[in-house]
Amino acid sequence: MSRIGKKPVAIPSGVTAKVDGQTVSVKGAKGELNFVVPDDVEVKFENNVIAVNPRHETKRARALWGTSRARVNNLVVGVTKGFEKKLEITGVGYKAAVAGKNLQLSLGYSHDVSYPIPAGIAIATPKPTEIMITGIDKRQVGQVAAEIRAYRGPEPYKGKGVKYADEFIFRKEGKKK
């Protein structure tokens, strides 16, 4: 039994939800999101609560049960509060700045890296060494953060590069004479 899948998703006031076949649509103050639930899982909307249950007792259906419930819950949280990821840049001369619809990154390469900001995502740089990524879609916010981090991931010797704010970099000792 899925512990997460058993819990129904409560719809707060100010949010409208609609289940049309396998498509769940949620509309709130921040926007509207949709999710197509896999066929192995059934979705019911009753009394301002969305319930997710497996259709069959197969391994795949049980695996998708909790995942589908979590994805539906992320829709509700996204349209009410939204999601954010914070990145930190460490290194001499490493910095970031938002220029129009692009994020300009100076990461020690011979050229600046220009990252186009996708629709539905807002990027802010409160300091030159901090990047705040916000949006209503949790998957998209995480994907954008991962793509920016991939330009220069943190290295274990000096800790230089782009890392998540809550990430711990295991430091290594350099070579000895």
Mean pLDDT score across all residues of the chain: 92
pLDDT at position 1: 63
Chain segment 54-108, per-residue pLDDT in tens = 998 899 998 899 999 999 999 999 999 999 999 999 999 999 999 999 999 999 9
pLDDT at position 165: 94
33-61 burial: b if 16+ Cβ within 10 Å, else e: bebebeebbbbebeeeebbbebeeeeeeb
What is the amino acid identity at position 96? A
Domains along the sequence of the chain with CATH: 3-80 (3.90.930.12), 83-164 (3.90.930.12)
Chain segment 162-172, per-residue pLDDT in tens = 999 999 999 99
